[in-house]
Chain A
Amino acid sequence: MKNLIIFLLALSFGSQFYGQTYNNFEPSKTQFMIRGYGHTGFNYMDSGDEKESSYVGSAFAPIFLFKHSDKLMFEAELEFELENNNLEIGLEYADVMYVLNKNMTIRAGKFILPFGTFMERLHPAWINRLTTRPLGFGHDGIAPASGVGVELRGVFDLGGSSLNYSVYSTNGPRLKDGNVEPEEAGMLMFENFEDNNLSKAIGGRLGLLPFADSSTEVGFSAYSTNGVGEKDSEYEDIGAFLYALDFSFVKQVTPLKGIIDFKAQYNNSNVDTAEFAEAHGEEGELEEVEGEEVYSFENKSNSFYTQLSYRPTMAGSDFIRKLELVGRFSNFNTPEGAEWEEKSNQYAFGINYWLTWRSVIKLSYQTTETEGGHGDSGITNTDGFFVHWAIGF
């Protein structure tokens, strides 16, 4: 009986203490959170003789946010994707950031480069209004996506308008010398986890939002290195200079009863001229030959895209309010004389239905005219039809 009374008293007081603790609960400053995005869908491609259709495996890109304090955070994004019946895993970025003051933050690690705005801000599937990226971005593109290094970034409030900036140094790109893939000799490869030489790339972006409503932003980015080749190789001193111009206008226009979103970006890449060995082997394999023939070309590339979308957010119908119309033009020009010489123009049109602010069903059609590309000659027209479902979380 005595034991029972003690047990009941302990239970009674214990629950009060527990309740008191619960009522005083306050979230700690240290927080861990998983966000990210994913998408899945159906692709149909028709390039004349060749037709293909496929349900495309879902891509899953979790973002890990570890907020250590009000100023210190670690962020990382993984990307899981099904490609050629294999699961590809990529590390989009993994960096630590510290807010030094209201105008300045330092980041270190692998971070998305602010080269223009598309890769840094607009490429995630639930943000990108179309199912594909514009020409010049992604695989075989000329715009650097990410780099390993250190960055100083921030923004100044100019009393209505604002000026944002970024200055960074990274390992920089590697030059494909053609030993492994002769048809890609002269291309820059920006995935450079360990530097292949002593030269570092430096770059930055300046963005100006001239109006108080934040509707308009113009930006200029530059990225340069004086060595992209392997240390002690003939390409060690080959330099590269890239720049980008970007423009954004997003505003609710009352006469149009909706939001207009206009984006544009121009990328330019200029790499020092170098000599590469001619490919003689079958299927692009480089074959050692006596008195090896070499060739060179002016290694200059550029790409451009402009995109306009419209959401009738002030329409009376709930269904219409969730619709979005989008159109995009992009082009891509690679060096004349290179094995990967290419001139492409692409038009893409789409209609989106927003289930929520972070979940969208995208239907799009795009047509691409390509002249050349990876040793091919002649003009290829490729039409594509896509239905994708993207979700941010």
Chain B
Amino acid sequence: MKTLYRILIGSLMIFAISISIIACSTKKDVYTEVPDTEVADMGEEFKIEKSGAQLWGEVCNRCHLAPSPADYNDTDWETISLHMRVRANLTEKEITGIKGFLQSAN
């Protein structure tokens, strides 16, 4: 058991260090709100990017039924989005899209 423990602890340490290096060396160095100008530019990529509604339908249903946008206000959706982002390990793109859809459709 001790050998297994050492192998696991070694693997996880290597993994954690690698992940930290990769995560901290990305070009977008911090989690920030997408500026309006970038949102406008994203219009050109609309055809290949999934809409917030599509992400809402696909991602939320992984665990529970997709929520009704009308059940919470914009401020609530901010809080819920941060909670779900961490709880369900959602990507920045997914949570930004879903939150945008919920806030625009409520």
Contacts and interface: CB of A to CB of B under 8 A. Distances in A.
Interface in B35-84: 58-59, 61-68, 71, 74-76, 78-80, 82-83
Contacts of B105: none
Interface residues of A, number: 61
Contact of A105 (B4, B12, B74, B86): B86
A102 B92 contact: yes
Interface of B: 1-2, 4-5, 8-9, 12, 15-16, 19-20, 22-24, 26, 28-31, 33, 58-59, 61-68, 71, 74-76, 78-80, 82-83, 85-94
Contact of A214 (B2, B30, B59, B86): B59
Interface stretch (A3-11, A159-167, A370-378): A159-167
A104 B23 contact: yes
A165 B15 contact: yes
B65 A204 contact: no
A356 interface: yes
A173 B90 CA distance: 29
A157 B92 contact: yes
Interface in A123-179: 126-127, 152-157, 162, 164-167
A357 B64 CA distance: 8
Contact of B88 (A27, A107, A121, A261): A121
A259 B61 CA distance: 9
A290 interface: no
A202 B8 contact: yes
A97 B80 CA distance: 14
A239 B4 CA distance: 10
A222 interface: yes
B91 A157 contact: yes
A226 B5 contact: yes
Contacts, number: 147
Contact of B89 (A70, A154, A215, A259): A154
Given A101-B30, A127-B63, A157-B91, A241 B15 contact: no
A99 interface: yes
Contacts of A358: 64-65, 67, 71
The 6 closest A-B pairs by CB, nearest first: A239-B1, A103-B23, A164-B89, A357-B65, A27-B75, A102-B92
Interface in A71-94: 71, 73, 75
A218 to B, nearest CB: 13
A48 B58 CA distance: 45
Contact of A357 (B2, B12, B67): B67
A125 B62 CA distance: 16
Interface string A252-269: 000000010100000000
B100 to A, nearest CB: 15
A73 B4 contact: no
Given A27-B75, A225-B5, A240-B1, A73 B63 contact: no
A101 B31 contact: yes
A386 to B, nearest CB: 20
Contact of B58 (A65, A214, A248): A214
Contacts of A107: 86
Contacts of B2: 226, 239
A331 B48 CA distance: 44
Contacts of A99: 31, 82, 85-86
Contacts of B71: 358
- Max chain B Cβ within 10 angstroms of own Cβ: one of A107, A241, A261: A241
A27 B75 CA distance: 7
B86 A73 contact: yes
A165 to B, nearest CB: 6
A31 B78 CA distance: 9
Contacts of A248: 62
A127 B94 CA distance: 21
Contact of B83 (A73, A157, A214, A250): A73
Contacts of A103: 19, 22-23, 26
A33 to B, nearest CB: 5
B24 to A, nearest CB: 6
B78 A101 contact: no
Contact of A153 (B59, B65, B89): B89
